[in-house]
DNA sequence: CTTGTGTCCTGTAGGC
DNA sequence: TGCCTACAGGACACAA
């Protein structure tokens, strides 16, 4: 599932394919994939725009256009972006953008939870309110241990859920939250407000490290292959996961003999080592 | 403001 | 073989 490292990988790999290209038209086979504005205004607004650059904010991929507008994608759980030559639509292709070089950008999204938005630059509608409330990028200098400490202080939710809250810090999803907590030696069920300063320091450092490492290895492609890069290659960070998806396996922390456990926290699976995460 | 729960959405895996 | 249910889970609406 695309989290910060996966979206960043997609941004890097898509940029050379899209930069300077003109978008001729958009064709949607599922209208509900368009989050804003209505499909008619969306199609009219995108036609003729040229791609000026690609950016990322949290889990959103932002295609900057030369028309003072932005095309934003949220891939949610199963979304994928591909640039392809002339071809029949792929299975689960929900919208396609024709480019001026004969190729097209396809948004493939089996579960139809992902969305694409067209907005004036920086002027986000209610459908994108999450963009305005979004917390700092964990891999930027603004994200510090003291910032995180302020966000966790007196909070009674479990720390795992607070890491998934995009207002606390953005881009973290289920996989990297589990991995950051594992590296920091913190159990996901700990109440946010109960973390000591030393633990928060370790957690901030672990978040930065694990997200950067995820980017370096081009993201995590689990066995069910939900996430693929634009050229359909898999990422390779799954080989370096310490706990996520490893229930019943030996903990990968150095010198630890614990066996990874799985528990449901806030209606999603969490993996942790009962020995080295306290 | 905070916290927990339900909902969206559809394909796939597993049980019988 | 085929039907049914549970599950996957990010974001948000909503209730308490």
Q: What is the pLDDT of residues A10-25, one digit of tens each?
A: 999 999 999 999 999 9
Pairwise CA distance, residues A20 & A114, whole Å: 25
**How far is CA A12 from its chain centroid?**
14
- Among A44, A111, A133, A268, which one carries the catalytic annotation? A268
Q: Write down the pLDDT at residue A225.
A: 67
Pairwise CA distance, residues A214 & A241, whole Å: 10
Q: Which residues of chain A have pLDDT under 70?
A: 225
Q: Is-contact A51 A19, C-beta < 8 A?
A: yes
Pairwise CA distance, residues A215 & A266, whole Å: 27
Nucleotide nearest to A158 (CA to C1'): B3
The separation, in Å, between residue A153 CA and nucleotide B1 C1' comes to 14
User: Could you give the 3-state DSSP secondary structure of residue A160?
Assistant: helix
Residue A268 designated active-site? yes
Q: Write down the pLDDT at residue A233.
A: 92
Q: Write down the pLDDT at residue A24.
A: 98
Measured from Cα to the C1' atom, the residue closest to B7 is A113
Q: Write down the pLDDT at residue A165.
A: 95
- Among A6, A11, A56, A59, which one carries the catalytic annotation? A59
**Both tokens of residue A182?**
């594992």
Pairwise CA distance, residues A104 & A87, whole Å: 9
């Amino acid at each position: 599932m695309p989290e910060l490292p996966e979206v960043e990988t997609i941004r890097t790999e898509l940029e050379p394919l899209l930069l300077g290209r003109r978008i001729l038209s958009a064709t949607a086979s599922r209208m509900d994939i368009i989050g804003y504005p209505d499909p008619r205004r969306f199609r009219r607004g995108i036609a003729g725009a040229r791609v000026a650059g690609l950016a990322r904010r949290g889990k959103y991929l932002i295609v900057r256009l030369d028309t003072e507008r932005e095309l934003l994608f949220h891939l949610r759980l199963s979304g994928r972006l591909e640039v392809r030559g002339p071809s029949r639509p792929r299975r689960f292709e929900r919208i396609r953008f024709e480019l001026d070089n004969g190729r097209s950008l396809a948004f493939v999204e089996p579960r139809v939870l992902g969305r694409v938005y067209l907005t004036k630059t920086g002027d986000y509608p209610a459908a994108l309110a999450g963009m305005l409330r979004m917390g700092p990028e964990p891999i930027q200098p603004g994200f510090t241990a003291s910032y995180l400490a302020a966000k966790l202080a007196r909070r009674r939710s479990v720390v795992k859920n607070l890491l998934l809250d995009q207002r606390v810090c953005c881009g973290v999803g289920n996989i990297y939250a589990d991995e950051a907590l594992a590296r920091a030696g913190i159990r996901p069920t700990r109440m946010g407000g109960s973390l000591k300063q030393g633990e928060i320091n370790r957690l901030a450092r672990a978040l930065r490290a694990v997200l950067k490492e995820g980017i370096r290895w081009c993201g995590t492609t689990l066995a069910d292959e939900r996430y693929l890069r634009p050229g359909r290659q898999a990422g390779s960070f799954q080989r370096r996961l310490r706990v996520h998806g490893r229930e019943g396996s030996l903990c990968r922390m150095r010198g630890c003999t614990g066996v990874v456990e799985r528990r449901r926290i806030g209606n999603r699976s969490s993996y942790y080592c009962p020995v080295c995460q306290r």
